[in-house]
Amino acid sequence: MAQAVNLTLDGSSSATSGHVLYMMKTAKRPYSSAAVITEYVNTTGKCLSFLYYLISEKRDGHSSVSVIDEEERVKPLTNGLGLPRQWNPVRVRLPHGLHRVKIVGHRYNGNVGLAVDSVSFESCPDTGTYT
């Protein structure tokens, strides 16, 4: 289950306090995952941006983003393998229409966690490079 936890130094600014969503705190099962899924939102012309932090000494996990349309079809958008012990940025263009957006943290072994911060939907130009 996802859980909000206090954070002493956030990855998006020089803030000394704040909150992140610590997605993979409790279950330490290998190859498990935790997800955050929005309600249906109009994603036309929008990008999703967020930061994620792999709480691990090595690359033992990653994040992914997908959208779910009104007919419950899932479309993967990213499958990011970030660096451990640092904030990794993600920015992805979302498809047109009404979708639920799903951010998933994936674990390879039992000793990794994933925190998510600074999640935002913003206007997104039709050109540019996104990860």
Query: Tokens 């249906």 identify what position?
Result: 40
Q: Over 60: is that where the pLDDT of 12 sits? A: no
Q: Over 80: is that where the pLDDT of 52 sits? A: yes
Element at 96 (helix H, strand E): none
Instruction: Report the topology of domain 3-123.
Output: Jelly Rolls (2.60.120)
Quick: pLDDT tens for 68-107.
999 999 999 987 767 777 888 889 999 999 999 998 888 7
Task: Estimate to the nearest angstrom the gap between the alpha carbon of 74 and the chain centroid.
Answer: 16
Give the pLDDT mean for 40-63.
Answer: 83
Distance of alpha carbon 38 from alpha carbon 96, whole angstroms = 16
The whole-number pLDDT of residue 128 equals 53
pLDDT band per the 50, 70, 90 thresholds, residue 117: confident
Structure tokens at 104: 């998933």
Return the domain boundaries, the chain. Answer: 3-123
Predicted TM-score of the model (pTM): 0.73
Kindly report the CA angle at 100 between 66 and 48, in degrees rounded to 5? Answer: 60
C-beta separation of 109 from 30 below 8 A: yes
Structure tokens at 93: 């263009």
Provide the residue type at 14 as one letter: S
Structure tokens at 5: 């936890």
